Amino acid sequence: MESDIIKLNGVNKWFGDLHVLQDVDLSIRRGERVVICGPSGSGKSTLIRCINRLEQHDEGSIVVDGIELNQDTENVAAIRREVGMVFQHFNLFPHLSVLENCALPQIRARGASRDQAEAKAMEYLRRVRIPEQASKFPSQLSGGQQQRVAIARSLCMEPKVMLFDEPTSALDPEMIKEVLDVIIDLAQSGMTMICVTHEMGFAKKVADTVVFMDAGRIVEKAPPQQLFENPQSERTKLFLSQILSH
């Protein structure tokens, strides 16, 4: 089995005239935990959204678990089944209960029976520590609880990779910890993950690799100690001084 689960090669993307991803090369090993940071507009979210094709890249190649992302919708579907994603604004289905949120995708995309799907949903809801909320609707939960449901919903698909797109940015401060704890648990269980976040403490704690992006480019890529304590690029230093100074 190849050790790199995700390989990006010379990826470029434009939004109109805006060059949002510029010659991005990135390889991620199985089990690797990657944190992507950088100023807003630097292309972090676009990068991970390209990995499950919520955005299309214009040039270069993206290979996930041996499958190349291209116009073939079968490939896209196969990759999406292996790659879970957690969004900044949770994006739970408001018309479905917590349990149904977790069960529906398994039934429709994995062909699970309702019983199997609900059993697995309960298993993962226990893992994110909210099994008692299973029959409630998303709007009845706090932001932190909703984000944990979103994580459980993704995990129910048993993905090989998890993508987190600023999972705590929309949360009140007192709820950030409960969500980060769940993600840390997951990281420690060996899940391959890519997390876009500004939580530097989290990055130091769980990341194997931190990627710093600016203006659509990967500026620097290094283990957390090295990147935080001994950044090589002036741009990285400036960014770190800004976010760590307060």
Partner 1 sequence: MSELKSRRLTVRARTRFTRWDLVLAMVLVLAVAGLLWRASGVFSYKWAWSTVWPFVFRFDELTASWVPNLLAEGLATTLRLAFWGILAASLIGTVMGFARVSQRLVFRLIGTAYVMLIRNIPPVVFVFVFVYFIASQIMPTLALGDRAKELSPALQWWVSVFFGTPKLLDNFLLGLLCLSVFSGAYVTEIVRAGIQSVPQAQIEAGNSLGMSQADVTRFVVLPQAFRNVLPPMAGQLIQLIKDSSLVSLVSIQELTFMAQDVQITTQRVFEVFVFTGAIYFVICFTLSQVFASLERRYARALK
Which residues contact partner 1 (rule: CB under 8 A)?
52, 54, 77, 80-81, 83-85, 87, 89, 91-95, 104-105, 108-110, 137-140, 153-154, 157
Q: How far is the CB of 211 from partner 1 (least distance, A)?
A: 21
Question: Shortest Cβ distance from residue 49 to partner 1 (Å)?
Answer: 8
Tokens 């434009």 sit at which residue?
14
Strand partners for 218: 213
Do 94 and 150 touch, CB atoms closer than 8 A?
no
| Separation CA 204–CA 224 (nearest Å) | 6
**To the nearest 5 percent, what fractions of the chain are helix, strand and coil?**
40, 25, 30
Residue closer to partner 1 (CB basis): 22 or 88: 88
Please state the closest distance from residue 222 (CB atom) to partner 1, in A: 29
SS3 1: coil
Length reported for the chain: 246
- In this complex, which beta carbon is closest to partner 1, that of residue 16 or of residue 94? 94
**Which string of b and e fits 114-131 if b means at least 16 CB within 10 Å?**
eeebbebbbebbebbebb
Instruction: Identify which of residues 96 and 222 has a Cβ nearer to partner 1 in the complex.
Output: 96
Q: Between 109 and 238, whose beta carbon lies closer to partner 1?
A: 109
Q: Which of residues 138 and 224 has its CB atom nearest to partner 1 in the complex?
A: 138
Rounded Cα distance, 208 and 153, in Å: 25
Min dist CB 93 to partner 1, Å, is 6
Minimum gap (Å) between residue 7 Cβ and partner 1: 20
